[in-house]
Amino acid sequence: MSEAAADSRASRRSRIAGVVVSASSVQVGAAFGATVFPIVGPFGVAAMRQLVSAITLLAIARPPLRRIGLRRLTPALMLGLVLVGMNTALYASVERIGLGLAVTIEFLGPLAIALATGGEAHGRRGPRAQDAACAALALAGVVMLTGAVGGARLDPLGLLLGVAAAVLWAAYILLNHRAGALPGVTGTAVASLTGTVLTLPFLLVILAGVPRAVLPHVLLIGAVTGLLSSALPYSLDLVILRTLPRSLFGMLQSLHPVAAAVFGLLVLGQHLEPLQLAGIVAVCLANVLTVALQGRGSGSAA
């Protein structure tokens, strides 16, 4: 093997490791955030995460907002609204059904986008047989997750909140594509700033009601959640996506539900039944197959 090929392989492995670190960072941050739900609630944690994310990203991006103009910033402003709703719905779902299950339900959002765009990527209007099979596999995973066939049934409101987070994650992907036209991480920074402006007044009211003895702990957890769930993974993903094929990146996103189950157990002591674990595997496998089949189809069409 040539030295250049060896360097290329090593570089690829390091980028894959970066995706693993990013996914793990998001979920461990969410797990720590869940520890203060009894004190500030899911919305309080989401608002603190938003604030830390905005401060960090604005310091990195320093976007020239006046020069960009309101019209070009509109998708990023809308993205901020979606971020607040998505994170709040996810954390509220985590509070009711646990981290691993909530994140897996939320993961149906990007999976639905991948399935919906599969036919378009191959010049077809309708879904392919492979896409339908992947959708059926994901649906089977959801049935196993929810306890609809055997196992313990989940809290209906928790499930509904997870579905809401999934819908908002799909909207986030679509809006992020438009906001990505802005230079660097400007779109994400503006979205985080928008979310902070919307949530900060409520966050101050929530924090004012927190006992002084536990306030430093709550603020520390908020900072950790914001750094681990937003600032670090956003920065890592931005660098990784510049060189790692999007198809491989899309497959590796299946690590999120797995990481959520792992850190839900390690940090929060949330145990899952075997059938629920099988449901997580089915949803992740559906994503891997969807992205792999799209990539193969694109390659054969080229």
In this predicted structure, what is the pLDDT of residue 27? 95
Q: What's the pLDDT tens digit per position in 7-66?
A: 567 677 888 888 889 999 999 999 999 999 999 999 999 999 999 988 987 887 776 666
What b/e string do you get for 166-201 counting C-beta neighbours within 10 Å, with b at 16 or more? bbbbbbbbebbeebbebeebbbbbbbbbbbbebbee
Q: State the number of CA atoms in the 13 A half-sphere of 97 facing the CB.
A: 27
Helix (H, G, I), strand (E, B) or coil at 286: helix
Contact 38, 79 (CB under 8 A): no
pLDDT for the residue numbered 301: 40
- Assigned token pair, 242: 């510049």
Neighbours of 206 (CB within 10 A): 19
Structure confidence at residue 134 (pLDDT)? 87
* CA distances to 66, 95, 236 from 23, in Å: 34, 20, 10
DSSP class of residue 151 equals: S
Delimit the domains of the chain by residue range.
19-301
What tokens appear for 36 in the block? Answer: 């203060």
One-letter amino acid identity for 7?
A: D
Cα–Cα distance for residue pair 240/246, rounded to 1 Å: 10
Q: What are phi and psi of 85, to 5 degrees?
A: -65, -40
Residues of the chain with pLDDT under 70: 1-8, 10, 63-72, 118-128, 147-152, 177-185, 242, 294-302
User: What one-character-per-residue DSSP string does 62-87 give?
Assistant: ---HHHH-HHHHHHHHHHHHHHHHHH
Secondary structure of residue 5 in the 3-state scheme: helix
Query: Residue 117: how many CB atoms within 10 A of its CB?
Result: 14
Q: What is the pLDDT of residue 300?
A: 44
Structure pTM? 0.86
CA distance 218 to 292: 42
